Amino acid sequence: MMLGTHGLGAGELLSLFGHFLLLSLLSIGGAITTAPDMHRYLAKEHGWISDLDFTASVAIAQAAPGPNVLFVAVLGWNVAGVLGMLATLAGILLPSALLAVAASRWGEARKDAPVVRAFTHGLAPLTLGLLLATGWVLAEPNRGHPGAMALTAVTAVVMWRTRIAPIWLVAAGALAGALGFA
């Protein structure tokens, strides 16, 4: 991992913070749903982090105990060290937290209103689409490897159809990788 080797200036850090502020408002279903745009912004548009470092950052943070949003801090760290970590994490947390508090108070007072029920039911397909886009971006480094793609497909089906704890699938993937299958 790059460990924040880019010396971003104040303007670039402000831009990073601003971009993650905007992503916060799109992170329906969690910050992970905006990973494709984070990848586009950090790796493709600015080249601050490689595709492999992006995927590794997400994987490391998701494997660690704690909230799923930790991957945003790891990405920020890899882009610009402590200041990058603060910019990305504050950017992704502030707007969504404030909006969530306000919306939940408003929605709780009107939970039986048809518009509130329609809105909450409409979020499910949106969240599913964002999660599928995230999976597509995270699979990018391995798309040319049939074993890795097969393992990804099997993992998705097992997660969908069973109650097996994800840690067992992570362990199976690690074993397949160690044996050279993925």
Interval 96-113: pLDDT, tens: 889 889 988 988 888 888
The predicted pLDDT at position 6 comes to 63
The residue extents of the domains of the chain are 10-113
Reading phi first (left if > 0) and then psi (alpha if -120 to 50, else beta), residue 47 is in left
Is residue 39 within 8 A of residue 137, CB to CB? The reply is yes
The predicted pLDDT at position 14 comes to 96
Task: Give the other-Cβ count within 10 Å of 1's Cβ.
Answer: 14
Task: For residue range 138-174, list pLDDT tens digits in order.
Answer: 888 888 888 888 888 888 899 889 999 888 988 888 8
Angstrom CA distances, 75 to 43, 82, 97, 127, 144, stand at: 10, 11, 20, 22, 24
pTM: 0.63
The predicted pLDDT at position 152 comes to 83
**Dmax of the chain from CA atoms?**
55
Task: For residue range 59-105, list pLDDT tens digits in order.
Answer: 888 888 888 899 999 999 999 999 999 999 999 999 988 988 998 89
